[in-house]
Amino acid sequence: MNDHSDQNPKTLSLTELEHIDQVQAQFRAAWESGARPRIEDFLADAADAARAEVLVRLLAEEVACRLGVGQTPIDEEYEQRPRGRFRFGRR
């Protein structure tokens, strides 16, 4: 899940990208342990510059995990979640 060809790699430092990878791995590990982590909780600790990338990766990770356990995520579920500074679902 690390294909980010649409992300401009010059906007984030190597340290920030490594941190984002760690956050994504923690999120995935929580799912694999049976927990159902909330993306919003992981965003709370993300640096402002990295928050959008964390959001994109965790949304993709959550959808993949949900599909992996037989769930069918739908747009409306994400549109109803707390929005804060970033919107879920359609633009």
The pLDDT assigned to 91 comes to 41
Task: Examine the pLDDT at 85 and tell me if it is beyond 60.
Answer: no
- Is the model's pLDDT at 67 over the cut of 50? yes
Tokens of 22: 């760690």
User: Between 52 and 88, where is the model more confident?
Assistant: 52
Q: Where are the extended beta strands (E) located within the chain? A: none
Residue with more model confidence, 90 or 71: 71
CB 33 within 8 Å of CB 18: no
Q: How many domains does the structure of the chain reveal? A: 1
Q: What is the pLDDT of residues 3-54, one digit of tens each?
A: 444 555 458 899 999 999 999 999 999 999 999 999 988 888 888 888 889 9
Is residue 84 in some structural domain? no
- Phi, psi for 53 (deg, rounded to 5): -70, -40
Q: Which domain holds residue 16?
A: 11-79
Torsion of Cα atoms, 58 then 64 then 69 then 71, to 10°: 90
